Structure 1
Amino acid sequence: MELHQRIVSAPVDFGAIRSEFGLASDYPAEAVSEARDAVDAFAGTRVDRTDIEFVTIDPPSAMDLDQALHIARTPTGFTLHYAITDLGAVIVPGGVLARESEARGQTFYLPDGNVPLHPTVLSEGTASLLPGVDRPAALWTIELDDKAVPQSFSVTRALVRSRERFDYAQVQAAADTGTLHPSLVALPEFGRLRIEAGLDQGAISLRLPAQDVVRHGDNWRLELEPRTAADDWNEQVSLLTGMCAARIMLAHNGTRIGLLRTMPPPAESAIASMRRTATALGVSWPAEMPVGRLLAGLDANTPAGLVLMSEATSLLRGAGYTMLGDLDQPTEDQLTHSAIGAPYAHVTAPLRRLADRFTTEVCLALCAGTEVPQWVVDGLGTAAETLRRTDSVAGKVDRACVDLTEATVLAPRIGTEFSALVLREANGSRPAEIFVADPPILGRCEGRPPEGEHVSVRLAVADVATRTIAFEYNGHAGH
């Protein structure tokens, strides 16, 4: 299935979504002043690692750079250095800035601009790991064997300097031409090995087409978000660091201080349903093959691949934040993130996510053999609750922005016929789900079209006020 698109754009006002969800982007002046005057509480005591040639990999327009990496091949495997912005050193506990960020929870991303967790003078300025400047960081050092399995890991406070900033397309192009920056030459091999290790431990990864709202002149249009192998390799660096952080917390579980990102295992009924779908689509799925292995081997550009990946979203439900202090005798399932196949903690995005500042402090203290700061002990539970709340809001905001753009772009085309792939058949009162490639739309369709088939559908509803669209089944494509 080719996913080519014509350019279809329209003016879209996202202001109503900001108002609906109470997203106030203006920071209190006192908090901005505190951010502007922030200083490193650990200046003069850090390990100087400005000798390491760190680089960053982020979207092209990003300025809140909170991760920098350097990975090298060694005679026995790999050494990964991963520098994370050390916000715990520059935000005063109990101050106005701390209170405001703890109320916001995370950065909200809208097509016309972000609603930041921290004032941009900090998140895009003095705390951002921009190239050519020294920055305080929490420096992770992870030694791995030749299969990229971690053998030792720790985190300490350091002074670092990034040398270059890249985006994913640049890294992918350099990998394709053999011109990767020396700090990234080992990244492709590392990434492939870590992906394989994840599959061995039951990881589940989906590669569904992701809708993205992008500016087109004065208007907005829908595109399929590009996903390169470089995205996947870089993701593995963050996932590995989060798994190491979880292991540090669990190894010191006597302290009962820690916060994990968890997800329960998929329901057996959901896997059984996927097996029935695979059989109906003619996809071979050996009984001993884990679902993650099946999905990894599917081609997302085929109808069968898209249908099965769409259904697999039902496997990845119930993600949450688990306080170690809330568990007396935890089971493995209570501690594990099933999509990753291991215990995992958020520690790599403190500029954009509240919990990372707290969990990083826990890991720094445990690795140094010191007491976890009291502000972390007192605030960790509240930070977890704030993230639970704001995660839900962030998901709704993302969906609302896409829905509004879909409805606006399609409003002039009511009655138009489109070619679509049926991702899920109708079930009871639930309509079928379809994917239209041009423009890229994931929508509902009335009329019971057959799952996994290319069909013709007619746009019946495109209501900007309610941000809803709906299609009606016309018949098989070409009929």
Structure 2
Amino acid sequence: MPRRILQVADAVQPDLTAGFARIRAEMRLPVEFGPAALTEALDAAGRALPARADRTEVPLLTIDPPGSMDLDQAMCIERAGEGFRVWYAIADVGAFVTPGGALDTEVHLRGESVYLPDGNVPLHPRELSEGAASLLPGKTRPAALWRIDLDATGEITAAEVTRALVRSRDRLEYRAVQESIDAGTAEGTIALLAEVGRLRQALERARGGVSIPTAEQEVVGENGGYRLAFRFPLPAEGWNAQISLLTGIAAARMMLDGGVGVLRVLPTPSEQDIAKVRRVAKALDVAWPEGRGYGEVVAGLDPARSQHAAFLQESMMLLRGSGYESFDGAPPEQGLHSAVAAPYAHVTAPLRRLVDRYATEVCLALCAGTEIPSWVREALPALPKEMAVSGRRAGSVERAAVDLVEATVLAPRVGERFESVVIDVEDRRPAGRVQIADPAVIARCTGEGLPLGEALSVRLVVADAENRKVEFTAA
């Protein structure tokens, strides 16, 4: 079950403030930028716009969670004959960061933005990530502007990316987008997002890809403190994600054709793991007909149903082992992302993820027919390791933050009974994990013969905020 911190409280409880500060210290998060790096960022933010093609006439818009300011992507979708044309503007971080400079050095040490409930630790100074480089509405910004043409089925027929000046017209939130689509009032890009998104999802399933429809655990601000809740992603979020995936697939094809770049990869699951997940499906009465792929099975599941939630949790083993592979010459031996079921690259979040800037620079040069900058080529070999380090750190921070909130919320309730669903069972020990709806907690539970996918009454035995530990036992 993904554990994502999605919302920020308006006010923070003092004990949690101290706890989050301790997490930052333990994980050695670089909260402040050095003076030289900050000076470079401020200078870059104050510079005049670069000379490049003016594409501010393209009616772009952004779709993001509430309160987002680091806006990497803006889109416009149009009909083009029997198919579609997708314009996708990506913040041009290369216009602001000098290769080899003090800011570039710090960005490499950070790798990616890290998010906690009381604020993020950004990859770039906020003057850039939430200001001069962000695709905020009504602001002319430098961007890498993708033009991707699709046929009537949603398949890519052509793709290119160029540097341009763009201007987003509007900043939308997922719920408002979903409501307009459901009400039948959506027009233009929003109406076509649903159409293209569904087509791309169908193509994903057909080629054996998978998008996991799991509930997300979130920390929500309430009455000056926090509560825990589960949130089920809206369909519009999945459609929006398909535009990003579409661009990443186009970028990967471009780099493979050019013989240089960096891919996001995920190994194909072993037959042994697939067989185990099939046994779990059978035990939980989840239909998996012969001949149907894993992606087709999960696409029809409802994460609000206990058996489906347990199956989705158990089957996450099929999606482990993601990483990056850079290449310059022969393509990598492992160049496929098995969940996408195609070669895939990260290019759509350069404000928040280091590797995207480099992959974008490769694609820009390949499309322009120019030499790939030497600073890009020289950095490619080290990027997979840099991103692995930053990814592990970001994951550890998110888990620690949610564990802290869970323990804090539950601390006064040790000894109480809760109704839960068993979503995971350990192979070698009488233990597993349970999911509780209110408060929304996923935690370890001890007990013999835990019934996977079934309801279970449990008792809270540990809620230790200092050590960020929560544990139940079967009641």
Q: Give the TM-score taking structure 1 as reference length.
A: 0.93
Matched, 1:12 2:13: no
Q: Which residue of 1 aligns with 2:300?
A: 297
Deviation at 1:425, TM superposition (A): 2.8
Q: 1:61-140 maps to which residues of 2 (within 5 A)?
A: 61-140=67-146
Amino acid at match of 2:296: R
Contact 1:42 1:89 in 2 (8 A): no
Deviations 1:104-154 (A, max 9, x none): 111111100010111101111111111111111000000000111000001
Moved more, 426-435 or 444-453: 426-435
Which residues of 2 match residues 182-221 of structure 1 at below 5 A?
182-221=188-227
State the partner residue of 1:356: 356
Query: Which sits farther off after the overlay, 10-19 or 457-466?
Result: 10-19
Q: Which of 257, 275, 298 is equivalent to 1:272? A: 275
Query: Does residue 158 of structure 1 match 2:164?
Result: yes
- Give the conservation status (yes or no) of the 8 Å contact 2:311–2:453: no
Contact 1:303 1:453 survives alignment (8 Å): yes
The Cα of 1:433 is off from its aligned counterpart by 1.5
CA deviation map 1:72-123 (0-9, x unaligned): 1222211000000111122111111111111111111110001011110111
Q: Deviations over 1:397-420 (max 9, x none)?
A: 000000000111101101100001
Who is 1:458 aligned against? 459
> Which of these residues, 287, 299, 321, is aligned with residue 284 of structure 1?
287
Instruction: Between 208-217 and 114-123, report the one with greater CA deviation.
Output: 208-217
The sequence identity of aligned pairs, in percent, is 47
RMSD: 1.7
Q: Secondary structure at the match of 1:384?
A: helix
Partner Cα separation in structure 1 for residue 285 and residue 234 of structure 2:
28
Q: Which secondary structure does the structure 1 equivalent of 2:105 belong to?
A: helix
For the Cα contact (< 8 Å) 1:105–1:383, is it kept in 2? no
Amino acid corresponding to residue 405 of structure 1 in structure 2: V
Does 76-85 or 93-102 show the bigger shift?
93-102
Q: Which residue identity lines up with residue 364 of structure 2 in the other structure?
A: L
> What is the alpha-carbon distance in structure 1 between the residues aligned to residue 454 and residue 281 of structure 2?
14
1:317-328 maps to which residues of 2 (within 5 A)? 317-325=320-328, 328=330
Residue 360 of structure 1: how far off its partner (Å): 0.3
Matched, 1:148 2:151: no
1:436 aligns with 2:402: no
Q: Give the partner amino acid of 1:304.
A: Q
The Cα of 1:382 is off from its aligned counterpart by 2.8
The residue that corresponds to 1:308 in the other structure is 311
The residue type paired with residue 469 of structure 2 is T
Give how far 1:322 is off: 0.4
Conserved? CA contact 1:40–1:89, under 8 Å: no
Structure 1 unaligned blocks of 5 or more? 1-8, 475-479
SS at 2:44 equivalent? coil
Deviation at 1:224?
1.4
Which residue identity lines up with residue 466 of structure 2 in the other structure? A
Q: CA deviation at 1:223?
A: 1.6
Report the AA paired with residue 317 of structure 1.
R
* Residue in structure 2 matched with residue 6 of structure 1 by the alignment: none
| One-letter code aligned to 2:218 | D
Decide whether aligned partners of structure 1 residues 270 and 41 sit closer, same or farther in structure 2, where only a CA change above 3 A counts: farther
Number of matched residues? 460
1:3 corresponding residue in structure 2? none
Question: Residues 351 and 427 of structure 1: is their aligned pair in 2 closer, same or farther, counting only changes over 3 Å?
Answer: same
Partner-residue secondary structure (3-state), 1:37: helix
Offset at 1:371? Answer: 0.2
2:258 aligns with 252
Aligned amino acid, residue 469 of structure 1: V
